[in-house]
Amino acid sequence: MKIVLIGAGGTLGVAVHTALTGRGHDVVTVGRSSGDLRLDIADPEQTAQLYERVGRVDAVVSAAGDVPWKPITEMTPQDYLDAFRGKVLSQVELVRQGVGRIAERGSFTLITGVLAREPVPTGTAASLANGAVEAFVRAAAIEIAPQRVNAVSPTVFTESLGDYGDFFPGMESVDLDKVARAYVRSVEGAQTGQVYVL
């Protein structure tokens, strides 16, 4: 398959890239500062450019998403808007703009995370963004068939414990290769409207 992978240079993106290329797929990488295409998907006009430049693909895979982390008393309205733009609208636009452009039976795989269901202090923006994306996936799936859309919703990555472990005391981590396999499942499988909780 020809697959476009956004966030390919990140911790998760590298693992997803390895898994997808290892399955023989042709992967076009996208990021703001690295990749085959340098684009910011938080800007809907740049997402339009992405689809213009990449041509017809079989799958769109997202491993990107930025949200602010702060105590709720320090959050501003702009912080919540930034979270919406950085993780929700960015991924919604991949689907909204992609429906008319990807293969007839193509798929979208979005990234959310454990904070949709297991909150931690300073994570309100991440929780709301992840929850919004998961609700969107379920809703979009019933409209876009035979195209498909799923989300991957992992807990903290084992490989990220050094950076984020203190936010998740006592919580299980998940190895990146297992998360990457959920992307393979979403891309190559037949399910839609699923949130793969890892």
Ligand X SMILES: NC(=O)c1ccc[n+]([C@@H]2O[C@H](COP(=O)([O-])OP(=O)(O)OC[C@H]3O[C@@H](n4cnc5c(N)ncnc54)[C@H](OP(=O)(O)O)[C@@H]3O)[C@@H](O)[C@H]2O)c1
Contact residues toward ligand X (CB under 6 A) are 6-7, 9-13, 30-34, 40-42, 63-66, 87, 90, 111, 113, 154, 156-157, 160, 164
Rounded to the nearest whole angstrom, what is the least distance from the CB of residue 146 to ligand X in the complex? 27
Q: What are phi and psi of 11, to 5 degrees?
A: -55, -50
Q: Which is nearer to ligand X, 24 or 64 (CB)?
A: 64
Task: Give the Å distances, CA to CA, from 29 to 9, 11, 17, 49.
Answer: 8, 14, 8, 14
Question: Token pair of 134, please?
Answer: 């998961």
Q: Which is nearer to ligand X, 40 or 134 (CB)?
A: 40
Q: How many CB atoms lie within 10 A of CB 20?
A: 23
Rounded to the nearest whole angstrom, what is the least distance from the CB of residue 157 to ligand X in the complex? 4
Rounded to the nearest whole angstrom, what is the least distance from the CB of residue 93 to ligand X in the complex? 10
Q: How many CA atoms lie within 13 A of 168 on its CB side?
A: 19
Rounded to the nearest whole angstrom, what is the least distance from the CB of residue 106 to ligand X in the complex? 20
CA distance linking residue 173 with residue 161, whole number of Å:
8
Amino acid at 189: G
Q: Which is nearer to ligand X, 24 or 170 (CB)?
A: 170
Q: Which is nearer to ligand X, 41 or 95 (CB)?
A: 41
Mapped onto helix, strand or coil, the DSSP state of residue 99 is coil
Q: Which is nearer to ligand X, 106 or 123 (CB)?
A: 123
Q: How many CB atoms lie within 10 A of CB 193?
A: 16
Residue nearest to ligand X (CB): 10
Strand partners, 195: 151
Q: What are phi and psi of 33, to 5 degrees?
A: -120, 0
Inter-residue contact 40 to 46 (CB < 8 Å) = yes
How many residues in the chain? 198
Rounded to the nearest whole angstrom, what is the least distance from the CB of residue 154 to ligand X in the complex? 4
Q: Which is nearer to ligand X, 102 or 151 (CB)?
A: 151
Rounded to the nearest whole angstrom, what is the least distance from the CB of residue 58 to ligand X in the complex? 20
